[in-house]
Chain A
Amino acid sequence: MLWTMAVRNLWRNRRRTLLTMSALMVSVALLILSLGIFSGMFAAMLASATQQYHGHMVISVPAYQDRRQLHDSFPYSRQLLDRLRERDEILGAAPRLRGFGLVSRAGRTEAGELLGIDPGREQQVTSLNRMLTAGVFPSSGQGNWVILGRGLAAKLEARPGDELVFFTQAADGSIGNDLLQVTGIFATGDFTRDNSLALVSLDWLQQLLVLPGRIHEIALALRSPMSAAKLVPVISGQLPPELEVYDWGRLLPEMQEVIASYDVSRFILMLILYAAAGLGVLNTFYMSVLERVREFGVLLAIGLKPAAIRNLVLLESLLLGMLSLLAGSGVGVFMTLLLSGRGIDLSRWISSVTYAGGTIPPRLRTELVVDNLLLPGLVLLLVCLLAGYLPARRASRLQPVAALRGD
C-alpha cells in the first residue's frame, strides 16, 4: 500500500518531481562519465608504461631492477618461458637483455639503451611493433637489425637502411662494437624512451656483450593488469629461487600512488556533485511535506501510525532516487561507451604528457569499469534517504488535530 501511495504522491506534482529527478540524473550521468574519463586516462597511462616498455610484470635477479648492472643476468630457459605461458593469467612472456653504450652514425654519437629482444615473443608483451613510424618490425631473432626510438633516430639523423655503430664494454671487460642496420623507427610518445631506446636482436646483443645464453629480464603481459600484485606470489613459486618477480606497482611506484590518489579525487568529485543534488532533494521534500500537512493529518486521524507516515516520505525519496539513478546511469553509461572506442582526438590542441612513468595520450577516451557504477549508485540512494529523512521526521511528528486545522 505504501508503495502505491508513494508512486502516486510523486506523480501528483509532476513538474517538481521531474525537475528534481533531472538534477539527480545529470549528477549521476556526469559523475559516471568523469569517472570513466579518469579510468580511461589511468588505463592509458598504465598501458603506455607497461605495453610500451616494462610489461605488466618483470622477472629478474633481485639486484637488477635497482642498478641495472650488466652482470646481474641469468640463464635464458625457453622451458621456463613456455611454462609461464601455459598459465591462464599470462598472455605473453618475453626474454630481454639490456646494454647501455654509444650509438653513432656519421660523426654523431649519442648515449643509448639497447634492448635485446625476441621479436615474436616481444609482440605478445609490448605493443612496440605497432608503434612504428617508419620501416618494418623484424620477424627474426637474428641479424643486426635495430629499431630506433624516434628522438634517437632524429639525433642521429638515421633512417631505415642506414648503418649505425654500437660501442660499449662487454661483460668480460672487452670493447664491444659492431654495425647495426636500421630497419625501423618507433614512437611511443614518451620522450625519454623515444630519445634513448633502441631494439636489437637478443642473439646479436648476447654476442656483443659476451653474455651467451643469458638475459636480464623476462617481461610478462597479464590478462588483468590491475590484479598483478595478487599474482606475484603465484609466479614466484614457479621460479628458481634466485629470481624475483616485480609487478608494475613495484616497477612504477609513482604510478601506483597516482592511481591510489585517484580514489580520493573520485570521492571528492562525488561529494561535490551529490551535495548539490542532495540539497535539491531536501528542498523538494520539505516543500512537499509542508504542502501536505492537512493530508497527513487526515491519514493520522484515520489511524495511520506516525512511523508509516515517515516511511512513506522516505519511500518517496528513495523511489525518486532510484528512478533518477536508473535514467542517469543509462545516460552516463551511454556517454561513456560513446567515448570508449577511439575517443576524441585532442592532439590538435595538446600534446602527450609523460607523468609518473606513464604517458597520457592527447585523446579523451573513457573506460567502463563496474566500480565506477556501483559506488555512485549506492551513494546516491544513501544521499536521497538522508535528504528525505528530515522532512519525513517532520511529517511523522505532526499532531493530527493541529494538522487538520491547517496551522
Chain B
Amino acid sequence: MKIPPLALTLCWSLLLLMPLPRCYALDLPALIREVETRYQGASSHALVTMEIRTAHWQRSLQLEIWSQGRDRFLARIKAPIKEQGVATLKVDQEVWNYLPKVDRVLKIPPSMMGGAWMGSHLTNDDLVKANRIDRDYTFRLLEEDAQGWLIEALPKPDAPVVWGKLLYRIKRTPLVPVLISYFDEEMVEVRRIHFNRVRQIGERWVPLRMLIEPLEKQEQTLLEYSEIEFDLPLAATLFSVRSLKRH
C-alpha cells in the first residue's frame, strides 16, 4: 500500500510536534503507596529478626508477622523465651499488646502512641501512621534520574502526623525504597531508615533488611526478614483481640 507523501510528512510532523513525555506522568502518591506497601501485598506472612542496639543494652528478637491489606497487622515474639508470646495487634488506627505472662491485653492509649514498639526504634505511631502517608502528605519531586527519584513529603495542614517532613529516595528498577529520612517539626533530620538486600519474592522485589537509625544517638534497630510470603489466604479473625490471646 502506498502512503501519500503528504500524509506521511504530516504524520511525521505531528509526531515531532507532540511533546515527548519524560517517561510517563508520575503519580507521586501512588508511587509512595507502592513503596510503603512493599512488605504487605494483599496479605503477608513473615519471619523477622529484630536486633536492637542502644547505649545501655543490645538484644535480638525473633518475630512472626502477619498482615492483611494496609490496616491489619499482627506480630508475635517467638524468642527470647522470656518474652515469647508477647504480641502486638494493629487494626486501623488502634494498637493492642498481649502479655502472656499476665494473660492480659492492653490497648495503647493515644498519649502513648509515640512510645517505642517492643523496645525498638520504631514507635506505635509508625505502625498506624505508615498506612496513611499517601493521604496525610503532599508530595513533590525533587530529583529524578536514571537510578530513581527523590521525593519530598510535607504534611497536609490538618493531618494528624508526627513528622515535619519526609524524604524518600526511591530506586527505579526494581521499584524499592532506598532511604527514608524523617524530619521533626523544626525540620531537623532525626531518623533514617535504610533499605537493602533487595530480593525477588514471587513477583515483587523486597528489601529484606531495614535499618532504623535515630540520628541524635548512637543506636539502631535492624530488621531482617528471613522469610516472607505474600497473598496467602488469612482469616480476618486472625486480626482480632480475641485471637491475640490465642497462641
Interface residues of A (CB under 8 A from B): 71, 102, 104, 107, 109-111, 165, 167, 169, 171-175, 177-179
Please give, as numbers and ranges, the residues of chain A lying within 8 Å of B68 by CB-CB distance: none
Q: Are A175 and B106 in contact (CB under 8 A)?
A: no
Partner of B106, one of A167, A171, A173: A167
In the complex, A71→B54 CA distance in Å? 12
A-B contact pairs, 6 of them (CB 8 A): A107-B107, A165-B104, A167-B97, A173-B119, A175-B118, A178-B102
Also in contact, A104 and B104, with CB within 8 A (given A172-B57, A173-B57, A177-B99): yes
| Cβ of A67 to closest chain B Cβ, rounded Å | 13
Please give, as numbers and ranges, the residues of chain A lying within 8 Å of B102 by CB-CB distance: 165, 177-179
Please give, as numbers and ranges, the residues of chain B lying within 8 Å of A174 by CB-CB distance: 59, 80, 82-83, 119
Q: Are A172 and B101 in contact (CB under 8 A)?
A: no
Q: Are B109 and A111 in contact (CB under 8 A)?
A: yes
Given contacts A71-B55, A109-B106, 10 further A-B contacts (CB under 8 A): A102-B108, A110-B109, A165-B99, A167-B99, A169-B119, A171-B57, A173-B52, A173-B57, A173-B59, A179-B102
Q: What are the interface flags for B108-150 relative to A under an 8 Å C-beta threshold, 1 for contact and 0 otherwise?
A: 1101100010110000000000000000000000000000000
B89 is an interface residue with CB less than 8 A from chain A: no
Describe A's contact surface by its main secondary structure: strand
| Cβ of B71 to closest chain A Cβ, rounded Å | 21
B86 is an interface residue with CB less than 8 A from chain A: yes
Please give, as numbers and ranges, the residues of chain A lying within 8 Å of B118 by CB-CB distance: 175
| Cβ of B196 to closest chain A Cβ, rounded Å | 25
| Cβ of B60 to closest chain A Cβ, rounded Å | 10
| Cβ of B157 to closest chain A Cβ, rounded Å | 29
In the complex, A175→B117 CA distance in Å? 10
Which residue on A lies nearest to B109, using beta carbons?
A: A109
Which residue on B lies nearest to A103, using beta carbons?
A: B106
Please give, as numbers and ranges, the residues of chain B lying within 8 Å of A71 by CB-CB distance: 55-56
In the complex, A107→B108 CA distance in Å? 10
Which residue on A lies nearest to B120, using beta carbons?
A: A173
Please give, as numbers and ranges, the residues of chain B lying within 8 Å of A167 by CB-CB distance: 97, 99, 106
Also in contact, A175 and B104, with CB within 8 A (given A102-B109, A111-B109, A111-B111): no
| Cβ of A104 to closest chain B Cβ, rounded Å | 5
| Cβ of A394 to closest chain B Cβ, rounded Å | 71
Please give, as numbers and ranges, the residues of chain A lying within 8 Å of B116 by CB-CB distance: 169
In the complex, A111→B110 CA distance in Å? 10
Q: Are B59 and A175 in contact (CB under 8 A)?
A: no
Partner of A172, one of B55, B59, B86, B106: B59
In the complex, A103→B104 CA distance in Å? 12
Residues B71-89 near A (CB distance < 8 A):
80, 82-83, 86
| Cβ of A186 to closest chain B Cβ, rounded Å | 22
| Cβ of B36 to closest chain A Cβ, rounded Å | 27
In the complex, A167→B106 CA distance in Å? 9
Q: Which 8 A-B pairs have the closest CB atoms?
A: A173-B57, A177-B99, A104-B106, A165-B104, A173-B59, A173-B119, A71-B56, A179-B102
Also in contact, A102 and B112, with CB within 8 A (given A174-B119, A175-B118, A178-B101): yes
Also in contact, A109 and B99, with CB within 8 A (given A173-B52, A173-B119, A175-B119): no
Also in contact, A175 and B83, with CB within 8 A (given A102-B106, A167-B99): yes
Please give, as numbers and ranges, the residues of chain B lying within 8 Å of A172 by CB-CB distance: 57, 59
| Cβ of A314 to closest chain B Cβ, rounded Å | 68
In the complex, A95→B130 CA distance in Å? 43
| Cβ of A204 to closest chain B Cβ, rounded Å | 14
Please give, as numbers and ranges, the residues of chain A lying within 8 Å of B101 by CB-CB distance: 177-178
Please give, as numbers and ranges, the residues of chain B lying within 8 Å of A179 by CB-CB distance: 102
Name, among A110, A111, A167, A169, the residue most crowded by chain B CB atoms within 10 Å (CB to CB): A167
Which residue on B lies nearest to A178, using beta carbons?
A: B102
| Cβ of B126 to closest chain A Cβ, rounded Å | 16
In the complex, A317→B104 CA distance in Å? 81
Name, among A104, A169, A173, the residue most crowded by chain B CB atoms within 10 Å (CB to CB): A173
Q: Are B109 and A165 in contact (CB under 8 A)?
A: no
In the complex, A177→B106 CA distance in Å? 11
In the complex, A102→B107 CA distance in Å? 10
Also in contact, A173 and B83, with CB within 8 A (given A104-B106, A165-B99, A167-B97): no
In the complex, A328→B108 CA distance in Å? 63
Please give, as numbers and ranges, the residues of chain B lying within 8 Å of A111 by CB-CB distance: 109, 111-112
| Cβ of B127 to closest chain A Cβ, rounded Å | 16
Q: What are the interface flags for B167-186 relative to A under an 8 Å C-beta threshold, 1 for contact and 0 otherwise?
A: 00000000000000000000
In the complex, A110→B80 CA distance in Å? 27
Please give, as numbers and ranges, the residues of chain A lying within 8 Å of B106 by CB-CB distance: 102, 104, 109, 165, 167
